[in-house]
Structure formats: C-alpha cells, structure tokens
Structure 1
Amino acid sequence: MAEEKLLRQAVWQCYQAEVTDQISVSNLQVTANAGVDVWGRKKPQPALLTVTVSLPQPFSSAAEGDVVDSSTVHYGRLSKSAISSVEKAGPSWLSSMDLAQLIEGAASATASSVSLAACEVDVFYPKGSMLGDGAGLTYSKAYGDNTISRVLYLKNVRVPCIIGVNSHERLMKQPVVASLWIDCLARDQTDEYIKVEQMLIKTIEESSFETLESLATTVVARLMDGFVRSISPGANVRLRVTKPMAVPFADAPAIEIFRAFKP
C-alpha cells in the first residue's frame, strides 16, 4: 500500500475539484469511547459524526431510474455503518484519529460496490471545550493518490479581555469569540484540543490590545511557539476572532488569519 501523503486541507480540497457527486450524513449522534473530555480524561463522551463520500462519476443511473442502485451510496446504510462501527469498537479507548479512520473504513466498506474518489469524516465533541461550542477533528482521504488531511479545531471559544480603541473599551473586559484550526497536525496529537484551548484562553485573557489584528497575530504566534514548533512541527494555524459587542447593528466584526509553519 502506498504511503499516505499529508496535505493542507485547502490543497486536498483543490485536488478533489473534479469530483462530481457527493453523499453525506451530518451530525450522527453517538457515545464514543474516544478522544478526551474537557478535563483531559479518557472517558466515554457524546460525539457528532459527519461522513461525506465523493464519487468520481455522476450517479446517473440512480437519477434516471429514480432508484438507489450501484451508481450511488445508500445514505441510510452509510449512517448505520458509521454508528455500528463505533458500537463495535468496544470498551477500548480510541484516539480521535483512530475513531475517524474506523468510520472511514466502515464508509468505504458500505460503498464497496461504488468506486469512491474520497471520504471525509468529521468527529465533533460538543463537550470537548470548556468555554466554546466544542472541539473536533476532520480527517479526509483521497483513494486515488492516497492523499490525506488532518485538521484539529476549536469552535467558538468565548473569552473576555480588554480589546478596542475607544476609551470606554479600555475600562471593561468584553467577550471575543475565537475559532481555531490546526492543519497538517501530527497523527499522535489529534487529542490535544484541551491543551490548545488552554493556551488560546490564557493568551487572550492576559492581552490588552486595541485591535483584533494584533490580538489574532499574537495568539497564533504563541500557538506556533508553544504547540506547533515543539509538539506538532509542520502544522499550520488558522484563527478567526470576532468581537460581538463592537458593532450594535451587526453580528460582529471579524479577523481571520492563516500562518504556515516555518522551521
């Protein structure tokens, strides 16, 4: 079997631009003995699974005959196989990467009569973040060239801090909301979202910037130095920071930056 080639998710998606049709199921609810909970413990926790399979050709005969035939993938069976693979894993603890690969294998087996171009599995832990909406891992694999991507992410982490150029903003902390993606993550670091969130929170809490640009750049630099360089070298960081209280008649202004790893 050819060795897997790790790509940035954006690059991997560009390689899949010629994929024609996709079938997906979103937010399948399971109890997974995988990852770590918000306290860093290896205990069962709720997880939401999203599975997407990509076909290299249109599902023409299924569309023309209005039937679920061998040109497509039955999304009901896809859902059941994903859930069943988690249930059959038993009491042994799995890393998030192990879980994602288990589900990818089940999806591939379910679609055995169809030539798949790619599969993407998103494992989301809604209780995996102390101050945010959750944490997760997105694992993508293309079967033709054996390219993959791995992205650890934190969703909507809310942290109060001093931020703003106006005089009244210097008097009281206000919330900023940060979402973070670490791309090209090392395989053995897919459960480090608690450590990453703690670094993210500490950096924002202790800051006192006037602009979101300075805040976002400083946060990413700290993550690069404190996590990526020493723990997951080669990874890249994308950060989106919003300031929901800043503009009365808008949801929030936002800054989003991407920084690539530099040895």
Structure 2
Amino acid sequence: MVPSSSDTVFVDTLHLSATIGPDCWGKTRPQALSISVYLNLEPKYLVASGEADEVEKSVHYGLLTKKVTSLIRKKNEEDGWDGVDALVRDVAEEAFELGGECVQSVRVVVEVPKVILLASSYTVDTTLLAEHDQPNVPTTLQPSIRRPRERRPVAKKVEVKEVVVPVIIGVNPPERLAKQRVMTDLVFYERVGEDSVGHVRYAKVVDALVKNIEASEYLTLEKFVHELARAAFSAEKRIECVTLRARKPSALSFADFSGVEVTRRRQDYVF
C-alpha cells in the first residue's frame, strides 16, 4: 500500500538530565535521559517552506529544542516531575504551543537507562492529539478566555530492554541442572482513555515478572514467553497487549542468540 502524504518535524535523542521520581536505587534525583519529539503536521504543511526554502514557513526544530531544554532546566530548579508521564505531557504542550494549529499530534519518546535495575533501558513512547477547542465552551470567546483541557494520550507503549534473569530452561539433561541466562525484551501497550487514571508503575510490573520467572522451570522458550505474557496481564489491568522477545545466548555454538518473539492481547487469555 502506498502511504499518504505526511509532514513531520522532529528532534531525535536530545540528551538531558531531569528529576522524574525515584531511580532504580529508590533515590529521587536528576537522571540522565534522552527525549525525542515528533510534531505530526497537517499533510503538505511543509510544501510552502520547501518551495520558498525558508525555515520561517516551517516549525523551527531549533526553537523546539530550546523550549524543551528551558522547560527541563526550570523544573529541575523546582521539584521536577512525579514520573515520566508528567514530563511527557509538559514536553508535548511545549510542542503544541510552538507549532500552533498546524500540529495534529505530538509523539514524545523518553528513554531512561536507570529506572529498572535488571534492564538496560526503559522507554516510554506516547502520542497525544491536538485539541484546539474546549468542549462545552463557546468558540466565540477570545482564546485567552478559553482554557485548554488536559490532553490525554491516544497511544502509549513502554519498552523494557534486556531484562536478564537466570532460569531453568531446556530439554537436554544438563539444562535441567543449572540455570541459564535468558535475555528478554518487553513491550507493553497500555490502555489509554478517560478511564485510565494515574500511571502504571512498570518497575513493580517487571519485578513481579522476574519473581514469576525465578520460581518457575520451562522446557521451551515458547512456554516461557506464553506464561510471561499471562503474568504481565495479571500484574497490571491497564496492559492491553504485550510483545515479548526472549533470547538464549548459550543455545547455539555459532550464533549469538536463538529465541522467539510473540505478541499477545489480553483477550488471548482466560482469567
């Protein structure tokens, strides 16, 4: 299928430091992180800039970088944010304010290496829609009188990379005697909407999954990921879908890894 016209201005992997709640050691302090911001514009909005070769007719990603950097510097002088979700909302608002009504949605990706102790990284990927008018407020009012409501995400996924846990797994007799390292990447697709209140504590979710793994034994990676998906849905009701990628570094002599990857929805299981 041929894609339709689309226009995006983005800043990729802006390296900063911000307070976003406790780190993996339970200490609340500034943490190193990276932020990527994608402004999805009205289709063909960038045609005018492209034809005139003038940045003034675009959304200036340099100004976007300055606004995000200034926001984080100011919040760091205060108490920071209570979690990544709050940071994402404020960064998205800066992007909507800069782009104006040409912005249809904003996608913010925040990667933090030190949130979950057993993982190499923790990434939150959130998309928020533009809402130019407040419902139930007459549009004849001046913009200064109309107050924007809090934007809610329309899509959110959380990726936890390279969770390494020793586990009894395998069909060969030696594999039943000693635990092997299994490296697992987890992608959680969270339910979003009016009924999604608060934010999911993914560090607790991963901790529950690790305890489940450590207490179990498996013959195959297929069984491993099947039960891990079930445990994820049991651990948090707002997780609607998961993608699990499990790898055994020691399974084959001449390959770095062998493994399986599955995607499962909550309705695939009976609870």
Whether 1:53 and 2:53 are equivalent positions in the alignment is no
Counting aligned pairs with the same residue, the percent is: 28
Whether 1:130 and 2:139 are equivalent positions in the alignment is no
| Partner residue, 2:127 | 140
| Partner residue, 1:167 | 173
| Partner residue, 1:86 | 72
Higher relative contact order, chain-length normalized (CA < 8 Å, sep 6+): 1
Q: Aligned pair in 2 of structure 1 residues 237, 187: CA closer, same or farther (>3 Å)?
A: farther
Post-superposition offset of 1:131: 1.6
| Partner residue, 2:221 | 212
Of 100, 104, 121, the residue aligned with 1:117 is: 104
- Offset from partner CA, 1:59-99 (integer Å, 9 cap, x none): 123223333132x3222222221222212224224221111
**TM-score if structure 1 supplies the norm length?**
0.81
Amino acid at match of 1:142: L
Moved more, 251-260 or 205-214: 251-260
2:20–2:84 CA contact under 8 A, matched in 1: yes
Take 1:202 and 1:111, find their aligned partners in 2: how far apart are those partners? 45
Amino acid at match of 2:122: A
- Offset from partner CA, 1:213-259 (integer Å, 9 cap, x none): 1001111212222x223xx3x63333221222223333322322233
1:160–1:176 CA contact under 8 A, matched in 2: yes
RMSD over equivalenced CA pairs, Å: 2.4
Take 2:197 and 2:119, find their aligned partners in 1: how far apart are those partners? 24
Take 1:26 and 1:207, find their aligned partners in 2: how far apart are those partners? 40
Larger Rg: 2
Show structure 2 runs of 5+ residues with no match: 133-151
Of 50, 54, 57, the residue aligned with 1:63 is: 50
* SS, match of residue 189 in structure 1: coil
Aligned residue pairs, count: 240
Amino acid at match of 1:22: T
- After TM superposition, which residue ranges in structure 1, 4 or more long, deviate above 4 angstroms? 144-147
Q: Aligned pair in 2 of structure 1 residues 19, 194: CA closer, same or farther (>3 Å)?
A: farther
Of 178, 198, 201, the residue aligned with 1:188 is: 198
